[in-house]
Amino acid sequence: MGVDEGRGFVPAYLKLGLENLRRRAGQAYRELKSCRLCARECAVNRLLNETGICRAGRLVMISSYGPHFGEEAPLVGRHGSGTVFLTHCNLKCVFCQNYDISWEAHGEPITVRKLASILLSLQNRGCHNVNFVSPTHYVPQIIAALYLAARDGLRLPVVYNTGGYDSLKTLVLLDGIVDIYMPDVKYMDSDTAKRLSGVEDYPRVAKAAVREMQRQVGDLVTDRDGIATRGLLVRHLVLPGGLAGTAELVDFLAREISPDCFINIMAQYRPAYRAQQFPPLDRRPTRDEILEAIHLARGRGLRVYT
Ligand code: SF4
């Protein structure tokens, strides 16, 4: 992990400039007219509140927000990561660990102005970043809220905490806005992706997304206190029975992304939602399966966080 020795952190969106940020928000909103924000390409008019597979409409919906201490250490620091849990999801994982938010739409619609005030409140509470959880389907609203919040003094790094099923066009809209990309790369096998998340092309889309994220922000960088300020941090939830394709993923990261790529091997999978109907998802991964995943990542020389 690189160390940012520079004084006075300036987030990407402030370097981009307020006027450019405002223009980017307008550009992103136009995408809602025929929504192709993610690779589902539903082409519904979300400005008229039509909904596609993710079920998100015109207004952003959030489930909760606040300082979170369960994220990776470089995000949490002493005061927590300022997470905003967004309602709905463009993936349809049968084992979703947050299914009340993704499938059952727990949350409430809010205005972009309210979202901006939430971001500022997270900064006032001392959080080290603003961390959008499942942001893909709300990218226009997020950029617009960042514009308003930046205008009023936001200067925290932005974390884009995604399931990895992001279109390149949407990621390009975020170029120069996101400081830290945190994709949760779920599978490397198309049949598994189709069966468990309803997206056969997940491996291809997620790999292309990670390449673009790395192009934009590079390897993870922290400040002198160990707090992440910029870069790519890949997440990978170990699934039972080798369903997550860990060997192929770490090989891809080491060969095509960076030998210094930072990966969090997550061991907390538990059967949730409809997982009981999809063995071996009906059990937690064994200790050996988790150790094997860590061993594979370390064996490829990646920076492993567990
Ligand atoms: S963001 Fe939602 S509506 Fe838009 S393409 Fe993806 S799943 Fe469809």
Q: What is the pLDDT of residues 258-296, one digit of tens each?
A: 999 999 999 999 999 999 999 999 999 999 999 999 999
Q: From the CA of 93, how far away is ligand 1's center (Å)?
A: 15
Per the listing, tokens 């909760």 go with 64
Q: 3-class DSSP state for residue 107?
A: coil
CA-closest residue to ligand 1 atom 1: 137
User: In the prediction, which pLDDT does 7 show?
Assistant: 55
Q: Residue ranges of the chain with pLDDT lower than 70?
A: 1-7
User: In the prediction, which pLDDT does 3 show?
Assistant: 54
- Look up residue 189 and give its amino acid: D
CA-closest residue to ligand 1 atom 6: 38
Q: Tell me how far apart the alpha carbons of residues 120 and 240 are, in angstroms, rounded to a whole number.
A: 40
Nearest in space to 214 (alpha carbons), one of 235, 236, 237, 230:
230
Q: 3-class DSSP state for residue 163?
A: coil
Q: 3-class DSSP state for residue 263?
A: strand
pTM: 0.96
C-alpha distances in angstroms, 3 versus 6, 158, 160, 188, 303?
9, 18, 20, 31, 14
Provide the sign of the torsion angle of the four alpha carbons 267, 268, 270, 275, taken in this order: negative
C-alpha distances in angstroms, 145 versus 16, 73, 105?
15, 26, 21
Which atom of ligand 1 is the closest one to the Cα of 38? 6
C-alpha distances in angstroms, 79 versus 76, 118, 126, 245, 257?
6, 16, 6, 34, 31
Helices (H) and strands (E) in the chain, counts: 11, 11
Which atom of ligand 1 is the closest one to the Cα of 55? 2
Per the listing, tokens 């300020």 go with 229
Q: How many CB atoms lie within 10 A of CB 129?
A: 27
- Cα 105–125–184 angle (5° rounding)? 45
CA-closest residue to ligand 1 atom 3: 52
Q: From the CA of 165, how far away is ligand 1's center (Å)?
A: 10
User: In the prediction, which pLDDT does 301 show?
Assistant: 96
Domains and CATH numbers, the chain: 2-305 (3.20.20.70)
Which atom of ligand 1 is the closest one to the Cα of 136? 1
Spatial CB neighbours of 207, under 8 Å, sequence gap ≥ 6: 252, 256
Q: Tell me how far apart the alpha carbons of residues 75 and 264 are, in angstroms, rounded to a whole number.
A: 12
User: In the prediction, which pLDDT does 40 show?
Assistant: 97
Q: How many CB atoms lie within 10 A of CB 108?
A: 11
Nearest in space to 242 (alpha carbons), one of 274, 281, 272:
281
Q: Which positions make up the binding site for [4Fe-4S] cluster? A: 89, 93, 96
- Cα 229–234–238 angle (5° rounding)? 140
Q: From the CA of 88, how far away is ligand 1's center (Å)?
A: 10
User: In the prediction, which pLDDT does 214 show?
Assistant: 98
User: In the prediction, which pLDDT does 306 show?
Assistant: 81
The conformational region for residue 214 under phi > 0 = left, psi -120 to 50 = alpha, else beta, is alpha
